[in-house]
Structure 1
Amino acid sequence: MPWMISERLLRRLPFTPYGQHYSQLPTEDPSTPTTNNAPNAARPGTNYTRIRDEDDRELARIGYEPELKREFGRWSTLSYAISILGVLGSQPATYGVPISDGGPSTAVWAWFIGSIMAYMIASCVAELVSAYPTAGGMYFVPAKIVPQKHLPIWTWIIGWCNFLGQACGVASIAYTLGQMTLAMRSIRSRLVDGAYEFSPKPYQIVIIALGMLIVFGVICSLTTKGLHRLIIWFAPINILATIGIIITLLVMTEDKRDASFVFMDVRDGSGYGSEGFSFLLGFLNVAWVMTDYDGTTHMSEETHDAAIRGPDSIRWAVIISGVQGFALNVVFTFCLTETYMDDIVGSPTGLPVAQIFLNAAGKDGATVMLFFVMLIQFFTGASAMLANSRMAYAFARDEALPFSNIWSKVNETTGTPVYAVWFVVGFCGCLNLIGIGSTQTITAIFNLCAPCLDLSYIAVILARLIYEDSNTFVPGPYTLGKWLPTKPRSIIAISWVLLISVVLFCPTTIPVTATNMNYAVVVAAAVAVFALSWWFLGANKYYTGPRLRKFEDIGNVLPMPHGQPDEGSQASSIPVSKPPAYSSPRTSSDGGSGSPTERTPLQGSAGARYDGGSAI
């Protein structure tokens, strides 16, 4: 595929774990660490069978019985990580906010700064989930960070923030697809007195959104192998479509703006009386698009070598998507008109980017470009629902949802949590139905996506800092500590999310009216009251945090590598002995023993750790 960088090149790039990781894969005895100079060091192309078995053993050591099949590899995982951000599909939906509130340059520089901050958050997330690659993602990590007496309330809040944030994101993507579909229908109708003959009704948008959710559900109900084969194409189509649209706009837009307009024109379009605050409002674009970083980690139990593949894909997806989004913002801004507030923001299409397409390529060209934008948005919706369903499965596995025994079941035919998928379809469908009665309310619910997800991330990052001297957390095989120290990065990420959350809850224009009021803060408060009330009225009596089992109990039913019993054994499933643990330099305060914290090394990487250095 044209988007795939050669494996040999990747092994020579700095900040990539591939070379070091592959050179340390075990080939004979999985409990014996190897080194770069070991004679039995595996080369790229090592059979995934052993890695899969050892991933399952690591999951068992964490405390969960492996139930899902591991089919996702390096490229399907990276494609999934890029697709869940879905820049080409999501960015056009919010591009109008920065240019109307802060001027043309706000769209460019807010994205640039926001992408760097997104990388800070994503890198922290990547390190944390590398230590414990489970379907719960960031929701599970506090189990190894927070003291037991505080653990239930921490994981309850983080889990619900993560689940609701993802659900709002899925529902908003389906709703946006409904808007884009009808916007395309409007473009194809006649323009009469400055308005298109066809004007979409709220119920029409909701009907299309519900249809999209059902299609997402069908896709997410496929086998893991089917998902792997499908998703591996998402990122190449995304990137190629982006390149095609950029070239088309640059070639076909006749009257482009100059560089000073694009890079140096910041305005106060919000009415707050401050160009600085108006610029901050422009971060809504990047905040809404560049989130759900841990979506990839929810697929950990279906990914080969998850402790490396997942975190690495998160980091590269943010880098690729950041560059992709910056390029799109620059090109869109070059294609604005002098009177863009009337011609573009006030476009009868209802979508500023659609008007940019129309100006450049006419109805037919705009229809083609909008089709690809919608296709990428569709990919993003399917990817987001997949992550949301795996989070629901993990949450139900720990009995944190009503009727958890149903949603945590794995379908025998597909080998996937199909019940959790359709629970998410129903939940998101209920959210979208609100759009029939109130556009303001549904918009407020959608606006919860980024704050809820980001707050669930920084809560875990903050917990790691608060309980640094007392927790049993041991970093996984993937860390950037050598190049980007964890503590400064964590402080930057926490500060950024707190700032951007305040901004996202502010009205985007002044004076505030019932129409332009940002009701997200009201909905957020209602959700918080509901979750905490549920906790104190009964959930605290039965929910104790992630429900883990002892390794020995799970190990007794795990097959040996390649599914073969030990020589001389008559059993197909035998007890699994725990490999020697390695010691962390951090000491544990549990029980006052002061002994080094032990953690079993991840057997895909032989206990080795990627520290961000050159992987030559």
Structure 2
Amino acid sequence: MDSSSGLNKDFISKQPVVDHPLQQTTSKSSKEAEASGYQQNPRRMATIADDDDRLLVLHGYVPELQRHFSKWSTVSYAISILGVLGSVPATFGSPVGSGGPATAVWAWFIGSCMAMCIASSVAELVSAYPTAGGMYYVTKHVVPKEHVAAWAWIIGWCNFLGQAAGVASLAYTISQMILATAVMHSTFVDGVPSFTPTALQTVLLAILVLCLFGTICSLTTHSLHKIVMWFAPINILASICICIALLILTPNKQSAKWVFTEVTDGSGWGSKGFSFLLGFLSVAWTMTDYDGTTHMSEETHDAAIRGPVAIRVAVLVSGLIGWMLTITFCFCMSDFEAIMESPTGLPVAQIFFNAGGRTGGTVMWFFVILVQFFTGCSAMLANARMAWAFARDHAFPFSGFWGTVNRITQTPVNAVWLVVVFCSCLDLIGIGSTLTIVAIFNITAPALDISYIAVIVAYRWYEDRVKFISGPYTMGRWSKPANAVAVIWVCFISVVLFFPPVKPVTATNMNYAICVAGFIGLFSMVWWYAGARKTYTGPRTNDTIDMLSPEDPEAILSDYDIP
């Protein structure tokens, strides 16, 4: 791995300048050009004090956002967007119910290793092109020019919709967690709680949570940097403390043999092996959104190296913490059947209350909800930056409005609230149909992972036709093997995640995610052929000035006043 503390002149000079011409400002008004730090003369540019902004200009975008994210806030953000302390308890019931404790334990371990291959592949590509568009923008530089629009359209929409479904599901899950606490504190008569939340209550609370996400994500980048710095430390420390507390307070813990070897056919498919495969839901839903950190690139110092490093560190740390939590929860399932049939609907909530009683259980559960809230904020930030990047490339209706940067906060506030409204609409579906809303949530991991491997496949498929200039973060000789593992794994696990989790299959337990995926695919294709292909050209970098020769990069740097 080649790394450095910042992007140097040699790295910038290696960029394919023909594809990254400098920004022409003649279309701007004098005041706008002056405010952005650029001169009216399209052949000259004011000095940019930061390597990241110079690189962004070479990629064809005017720096509009403030760079306040440091090395530690970037790593903290990357860890928080995975948010294992919130996500593992929310999804723990699925692998344990499908294949028993050993399924949950080993599915997480294997899934984390596979996640590292995907994350490393993503990190290598985005290191070369650190923009808010993430993998969507990378498409422009791994696909022949005549195919860029179609590839970018598919990848961009998969990424945006996958992230939106993830944000909506996080808000919905937080709502369920809060209401589960209310259930545990209600009066029980013959084992039946006096309070049972309705679908309407769950959805309305989820929308309130989304509004809180939106309010925080509308703050300045400097404020977000200060807030995000605390996300990972709280996540990690709370996870360790909760594991210790559960192991001390839980009586009659399960044996190590039961935890690490007990595999069951809880799915009813007649095969322990297939039930084991269904256990990958938890790790697949948690360990995704790897490029979320990349969407913050235009607000990060030394983004070309810090972003990729943060992605891999986050997967490593989250994989270990998630495995620790999963093993601990399995040890603490002293009464397996009773915990799986908990009135809260969340087995881990019952584990907490069994160990710590109402007071202790509530304290531990509070930190789970808090970390899940951190994850939701981080996910919305990534989704909003992706929406903003997509809008500035005119991929949305009314793109001019959604692609605007607020003058006060210097952040894309309009894009933030576009995500809030869109995710609220998704959650509203839960009032009428729990099956549909669950299906929408289940599309999160496949949609995001497919958007990643599509770029990886294009990169390898067209590598003889399209010259890709690597960034400062590369895997070297391990690149192709990691890419191959990532593609094979995502293809395999996507098929598994579309299967019904329980047999016999009925209208109430059917996995409708495949139907949602089919509808999204059909809708995007119809939209594309109905008119989008005539107006959408892919990432709209500024290609209006004279093309510059890549043969003399030093002359380019000096001619454009780039120090």
The answer on 1:225 being equivalent to 2:222 is yes
Q: Distance in 2 between matches of 1:119 and 1:480?
A: 12
What residue number does 1:21 align with? Answer: 4
What residue number does 2:519 align with? Answer: 526
Retained in 1: the 8 A contact 2:7–2:52?
Answer: no
Structure-2 change in CA distance of 1:327 and 1:579 (3 Å): farther
Structure-2 change in CA distance of 1:321 and 1:553 (3 Å): farther
Amino acid of the structure 1 residue aligned with 2:58: R
What residue number does 2:130 align with? Answer: 133
* Cα deviation 1:28-87 (Å, max 9, x = unaligned): x99899xxxxxxxxxxxxxxxx99621111001011111111110100000000000000
* Cα deviation 1:442-489 (Å, max 9, x = unaligned): 00001110000000000000001110111121110101225xx11111
Structure 1 alignment gaps of length 5 or more? 1-14, 34-49, 556-576, 583-598, 601-605, 607-616
Retained in 2: the 8 A contact 1:151–1:545?
Answer: yes
Retained in 1: the 8 A contact 2:94–2:279?
Answer: yes
The answer on 1:504 being equivalent to 2:497 is yes
What residue number does 2:32 align with? Answer: none
**5 Å matches for 1:248-397?**
248-337=245-334, 339-340=335-336, 342-397=337-392
Q: Distance in 1 between matches of 2:544 and 2:238?
A: 47
What residue number does 2:396 align with? Answer: 401
Q: Distance in 1 between matches of 2:550 and 2:382?
A: 31
Structure-2 change in CA distance of 1:378 and 1:551 (3 Å): farther
Amino acid of the structure 1 residue aligned with 2:189: V
**5 Å matches for 1:175-190?**
175-190=172-187
What residue number does 2:140 align with? Answer: 143
**5 Å matches for 1:430-469?**
430-469=425-464
- TM-score with structure 1 length normalisation? 0.82
Amino acid of the structure 2 residue aligned with 1:282: G
What residue number does 1:574 align with? Answer: none
Q: Distance in 2 between matches of 1:356 and 1:304?
A: 42
Amino acid of the structure 1 residue aligned with 2:508: T
Q: Is the partner of 2:4 in helix, strand or coil?
A: helix
Retained in 2: the 8 A contact 1:410–1:416?
Answer: yes
What residue number does 1:481 align with? Answer: 476
Q: Is the partner of 1:70 in helix, strand or coil?
A: coil
Q: Distance in 1 between matches of 2:281 and 2:48?
A: 41
Amino acid of the structure 2 residue aligned with 1:247: I
What residue number does 2:64 align with? Answer: 67
Retained in 1: the 8 A contact 2:7–2:302?
Answer: no
- Identify which range, 117-126 or 343-352, moves more after superposition: 343-352
Q: Is the partner of 1:92 in helix, strand or coil?
A: helix
What residue number does 1:540 align with? Answer: 533
Q: Is the partner of 2:476 in helix, strand or coil?
A: coil
Retained in 2: the 8 A contact 1:94–1:285?
Answer: yes
Q: Distance in 2 between matches of 1:281 and 1:268?
A: 10
Retained in 2: the 8 A contact 1:267–1:275?
Answer: yes
Q: Measure how far apart 1:552 and its partner are.
A: 6.3
Structure-2 change in CA distance of 1:529 and 1:52 (3 Å): farther
What residue number does 1:5 align with? Answer: none
What residue number does 1:39 align with? Answer: none
- Identify which range, 473-482 or 543-552, moves more after superposition: 543-552
Q: Distance in 1 between matches of 2:186 and 2:13?
A: 68
What residue number does 1:204 align with? Answer: 201
- TM-score with structure 2 length normalisation? 0.90
Q: Percent identity?
A: 61
* Cα deviation 1:284-322 (Å, max 9, x = unaligned): 000000000000000000000000000000000000000
Q: Distance in 2 between matches of 1:143 and 1:348?
A: 50
Q: Measure how far apart 1:554 and its partner are.
A: 13
Q: Distance in 1 between matches of 2:146 and 2:518?
A: 26
Q: Measure how far apart 1:26 and its partner are.
A: 5.7
Q: Distance in 2 between matches of 1:285 and 1:297?
A: 23
The answer on 1:156 being equivalent to 2:162 is no
Amino acid of the structure 2 residue aligned with 1:474: I
Q: Is the partner of 2:131 in helix, strand or coil?
A: coil
What residue number does 1:11 align with? Answer: none
The answer on 1:411 being equivalent to 2:394 is no
Q: Distance in 2 between matches of 1:52 and 1:493?
A: 38
Structure-2 change in CA distance of 1:301 and 1:197 (3 Å): same
Retained in 1: the 8 A contact 2:12–2:55?
Answer: no
Amino acid of the structure 1 residue aligned with 2:422: F
What residue number does 1:493 align with? Answer: 486
Retained in 2: the 8 A contact 1:31–1:579?
Answer: no
What residue number does 2:233 align with? Answer: 236
Amino acid of the structure 2 residue aligned with 1:128: L
Amino acid of the structure 2 residue aligned with 1:231: V
Retained in 2: the 8 A contact 1:51–1:305?
Answer: no
Q: Distance in 2 between matches of 1:26 and 1:57?
A: 11
Structure-2 change in CA distance of 1:450 and 1:30 (3 Å): closer
Q: Measure how far apart 1:192 and its partner are.
A: 1.5
Q: Is the partner of 1:21 in helix, strand or coil?
A: coil
Where do 4+ consecutive residues of structure 1 move more than 6 Å? Answer: 29-33, 551-555
Structure-2 change in CA distance of 1:189 and 1:490 (3 Å): same
Retained in 2: the 8 A contact 1:51–1:304?
Answer: no
Retained in 2: the 8 A contact 1:65–1:554?
Answer: no
Structure 2 alignment gaps of length 5 or more? 15-46, 558-562
Amino acid of the structure 1 residue aligned with 2:288: T
* Cα deviation 1:472-531 (Å, max 9, x = unaligned): 21110101225xx11111111001001111111101000001111111111110111101
Q: Distance in 2 between matches of 1:364 and 1:350?
A: 19
Q: Is the partner of 1:495 in helix, strand or coil?
A: helix
The answer on 1:112 being equivalent to 2:109 is yes
Q: Is the partner of 1:329 in helix, strand or coil?
A: helix
Q: Distance in 2 between matches of 1:242 and 1:331?
A: 10
Retained in 1: the 8 A contact 2:48–2:54?
Answer: no
Structure-2 change in CA distance of 1:551 and 1:301 (3 Å): farther
Retained in 2: the 8 A contact 1:52–1:70?
Answer: no
What residue number does 2:212 align with? Answer: 215
Q: Is the partner of 1:149 in helix, strand or coil?
A: helix
Q: CA RMSD in A?
A: 2.3
Q: Distance in 1 between matches of 2:13 and 2:153?
A: 38
Q: Distance in 1 between matches of 2:346 and 2:89?
A: 8
Q: Is the partner of 1:199 in helix, strand or coil?
A: coil
Retained in 2: the 8 A contact 1:190–1:196?
Answer: yes
Q: Measure how far apart 1:578 and its partner are.
A: 9.3
- Identify which range, 208-217 or 187-196, moves more after superposition: 187-196
Retained in 2: the 8 A contact 1:83–1:380?
Answer: yes
Q: Distance in 2 between matches of 1:458 and 1:158?
A: 10
Amino acid of the structure 2 residue aligned with 1:200: P
Structure-2 change in CA distance of 1:99 and 1:151 (3 Å): same
Q: Measure how far apart 1:191 and its partner are.
A: 1.6
Retained in 2: the 8 A contact 1:196–1:349?
Answer: no
